């Protein structure tokens, strides 16, 4: 597309509409490289189909296009329940304050991921390490333990000054963050 690609268009859609109100977005692309699916999902797309289109895959993707309103999100596996419950207890069971903490995390984490990408592009291993460290710690606090472990691996890469292969790892971090985001939103709703 001349003005923006599908990833940016999806990010704009996600920024402008609440999850319950926005349209479903399914990537349909000739790119079928490793990491493409994760990048699409991390950008906010709901599904990914690689060309050539297989009818059964298209039918499956379209079958998931129920309206979001009232649609329960049931996969909270990206968040360790015990860690999340400990966090809730540490704020005295204050659901409002917990919601504010979650909002802060959900605002900060994408910026940390963007910093990882910028630092990688600039070859700045120290900035890369610092962003990965913050993402690791913040994610662990909310129980996003898989995401935290992935960020720890990036932190070690930055510490060693070796960023080879980091782009693919960042794509996986983005995909895992997308899972954690959905799970935290669901868990916050249960505590409200």
Q: How many CA atoms lie within 13 A of 82 on its CB side?
A: 1
Higher pLDDT, residue 44 or 109: 109
Collapsing DSSP to helix, strand or coil, 38 comes out as helix
Q: Does 74 have pLDDT greater than 60?
A: no
Residue 68 φ then ψ, to 5°: -80, -25
Query: Residue 73: its pLDDT value, please?
Result: 44
What mean pLDDT, rounded, does the chain reach? 85
Contact predicate 100/92, CB 8 Å:
no
Domain extent listing, the chain: 6-63, 81-191
In terms of Cβ atoms closer than 10 Å to its own Cβ (0-12, 13-18, 19+), residue 185 is middle
Q: What is the DSSP string of 140-167?
A: HHHT-HHHHHHHHHHHHHHHHT--TTHH
What share of the chain in percent tops pLDDT 90? 50
Q: At what angle do helices 166-191 and 36-43 cross, to 10 degrees?
A: 40
Contact predicate 63/170, CB 8 Å:
no
What share of the chain in percent tops pLDDT 70? 86
Query: Residue 30: its pLDDT value, please?
Result: 74
Euclidean distance between CA atoms 132 and 189, whole angstroms: 28
Q: What is the mean pLDDT of residues 146-165?
A: 96
Same topology for domains 6-63 and 81-191, yes or no?
no
Query: Residue 67: its pLDDT value, please?
Result: 45
Q: 121-138 pLDDT, tens per residue?
A: 999 999 999 999 999 999
Query: Residue 113: its pLDDT value, please?
Result: 95
Q: Mention the CATH class of domain 6-63.
A: alpha beta
Q: What is the CATH number of domain 81-191?
A: 1.20.120.160
Q: How many CA atoms lie within 13 A of 170 on its CB side?
A: 25
Q: What is the mean pLDDT of residues 90-105?
A: 93
- pTM value is 0.63
Q: What is the mean pLDDT of residues 1-8?
A: 76
Q: 15-56 pLDDT, tens per residue?
A: 777 776 777 788 887 766 777 777 888 888 878 887 777 766
**Tokens linked to 151:** 């960020």
């Amino acid at each position: 597309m001349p003005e923006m690609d599908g990833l940016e268009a999806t990010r704009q859609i996600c920024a402008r509409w609440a999850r319950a109100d926005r349209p479903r977005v399914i990537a349909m692309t000739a790119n079928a490289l490793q990491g493409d699916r994760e990048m699409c999902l991390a950008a906010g797309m709901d599904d990914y189909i690689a060309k050539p289109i297989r009818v059964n895959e298209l039918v499956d993707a379209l079958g998931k296009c129920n309206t979001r309103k009232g649609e329960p999100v049931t996969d909270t596996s990206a968040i360790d329940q015990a860690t999340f419950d400990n966090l809730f207890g540490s704020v005295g069971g204050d659901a409002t304050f917990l919601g504010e903490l979650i909002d802060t995390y959900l605002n900060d984490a994408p910026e940390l991921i963007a910093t990882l990408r910028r630092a990688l592009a600039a070859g700045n291993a120290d900035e890369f390490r610092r962003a990965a460290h913050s993402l690791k710690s913040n994610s662990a606090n909310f129980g996003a333990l898989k995401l935290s472990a992935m960020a720890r691996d990036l932190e070690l890469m930055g510490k060693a000054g070796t960023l080879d292969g980091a782009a693919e790892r960042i794509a996986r971090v983005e995909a895992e963050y997308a899972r954690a985001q959905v799970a935290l939103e669901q868990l916050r709703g249960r505590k409200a």
